[in-house]
Homo-oligomer: A and B are copies of this chain.
Amino acid sequence: MKVLLIGGCGFIGSHVADCLVEHGIAVRIFDRRLEPFRDPLPRVEYVMGDLTDTAQVFEAMSGVDAVIHLASTTVPSTSNLDPVADIKGNLISAVRLLEMMRATDIRKIVYLSSGGTVYGIPTTDPVAEAHPLNPISSYGIVKVAIENYMQMENHLHGLQPIVLRASNPYGPRQGHGGIQGIIGTHLWRTARGEGVEIWGDGSIVRDFIYVRDLADLCVAALTTDTSGCYNAGSGAGASINDIVDRIRAVTADEPGINFDPVYKPGRSFDVPRVVLDISKARRDFRWAPKVDLKEGIERTWEWVKQTSRAD
C-alpha cells in the first residue's frame, strides 16, 4: 500500500509519517516545505508543491492507493479575518482533490477535520458525532463543507472517506508561531524566557490529545475498511488553568525558567467547553489514547528544551 500524505511535513503529519513507516506502508509526502525540526526521513518520498496547484497534486497522486489529507492554510483563530481566502485555500482545493481521486479511482481518504469548531457551542458534554453542526468560525464552516463534499462523493461515487474530527493536538514538533496550540506555545515561550498570555480567565475547557495518539488513529482509520465521521480526541477535558498548573509543575525545577502567565480579555469566538465523546473511534478502530496529559506535557517539555538549546 502506498499513501499520499498531504501536509506530511507539518506537526501532525510528521507523526503520521513516522507511524506509517513503522507499519511498513509506503509514504509519499506532499507539502509546501520540508519539516522544520528534522531532516527528511530516509524511507519517505517527498514532493514539494502547493495544494491549490491542481497539476502538482494530480502528479503527486500517481500510483498511490489512498490519501491522508492533513493540510490547512488557516487556523481557527485567524480564519475569520479572511473567510474568502479560507474558502479558496481549503474548500476549493479539497473539492478539486476529490474530483481527481474520482478521476483516478482512488477511493480511500482520511481527512482531518476539527472537533473543536464544527459543533459550534456544544449542547451536550461530551460531544458525540451526531451533535448538530453549528460552526461559528470560518475554519469550522469550511471544515463542515469539506466533510459534506466527502459524504456526497461517498453517496454518489463510492468514495470511502474517514473524517477525523480532531480535538486539540499537542506534543513534540508543534511549532512556536503562537497562533495555534497553547501547550506548545507556552512551553516554547517559557523555554526562551518570553512571557505567556492567556485569553480569558483560564476556565475554558478543551480536549487535548497527544499527537502520537492522533497519528495512531489516522493510520488505524486508513487500514480499516469503513467510512464515516469520527471524533478524535482524548475524551477527557482539561481547563487552560489545568494546563497552566501542569506546565508550572514540569518547569518548576528548571534553573532560570520563570513561568508566569498574564491573563487577557476573552475572545468572542472561543467556545467555553468542548470535550469529545470518542467511543465510536474506540469501538470501530480498536484504538485508545495511550499518553495522558501529565506524561504528554513532560515529553513535550523535554523536546522543547532539547530543541531550543540546539537553536
Contacts of A133 in B (CB 8 A): 132-133, 148
Q: How many copies are assembled?
A: 2
Is chain A's interface secondary structure helix, strand, loop, or mixed overall? helix
Do the beta carbons of B144 and A148 come within 8 Å of each other? Answer: yes
Do the beta carbons of A156 and B136 come within 8 Å of each other? Answer: yes
CA distance A132 to B134 in the complex (A): 10
Residue of B nearest to A135 (CB): B148
Tell me the minimal C-beta distance from A79 to chain B in angstroms. Answer: 10
Interface membership of A221, Cβ < 8 A: no
Do the beta carbons of B148 and A141 come within 8 Å of each other? Answer: yes
Residue of B nearest to A96 (CB): B84
Do the beta carbons of A269 and B156 come within 8 Å of each other? Answer: yes
Interface membership of A237, Cβ < 8 A: no
Do the beta carbons of B149 and A134 come within 8 Å of each other? Answer: no
Contacts of A310 in B (CB 8 A): none
Contacts of A144 in B (CB 8 A): 144-145, 148
Interface membership of A137, Cβ < 8 A: yes
Contacts of A134 in B (CB 8 A): 148, 151
Which of A113-149 touch B at CB < 8 Å? 130, 132-138, 140-142, 144-145, 148-149
Residue of B nearest to A91 (CB): B87
Among A99, A133, A148, A151, max chain B CB count under 10 A is at: A148
CA distance A156 to B269 in the complex (A): 7
Interface membership of A26, Cβ < 8 A: no
Interface membership of A106, Cβ < 8 A: no
Contacts of A149 in B (CB 8 A): 83, 138, 141
Residue of B nearest to A98 (CB): B83
Interface membership of A74, Cβ < 8 A: no
CA distance A80 to B99 in the complex (A): 11
Tell me the minimal C-beta distance from A142 to chain B in angstroms. Answer: 8
Do the beta carbons of A141 and B152 come within 8 Å of each other? Answer: yes
Interface membership of A34, Cβ < 8 A: no
Do the beta carbons of B135 and A152 come within 8 Å of each other? Answer: yes
Sample of 5 A–B contacts (CB below 8 Å): A83-B95, A88-B92, A133-B148, A136-B152, A140-B148
